[in-house]
Amino acid sequence: MSTGGKVAVAGVVAAIVLFATVGFWAGLLVLIGVPTVAYFMLDSSQRRRLRGISRKQIGR
């Protein structure tokens, strides 16, 4: 299984666990908020490099 597939499966499992334990809205807030905060904690050069990597993978 590819790395992207493993991340997707882990995300689905985390969503199910969070929704079952803390409720829908709190789980949704965590699932969206954590990656968003992590992205904004990067400095501008790291964000630029991350966007460049994503674009290269889309073009393949």
Q: How far apart are CA 56 and CA 26, in angstroms?
A: 34
Amino acid identity of 29? Answer: L
Listed residue (31, 53, 29, 28) closest to 42, CA to CA: 53
pTM here is 0.61
The total domain count for the chain is 1
Displacement of CA 36 from its chain's centroid (Å): 8
Range of the domain at 28: 3-59
**Average predicted confidence (pLDDT) for the chain:** 83
Query: What's the rounded Cα separation, in Å, for the pair 27 and 7?
Result: 17
pLDDT tens-digit map of 29-56:
888 888 889 889 999 999 888 887 766 6
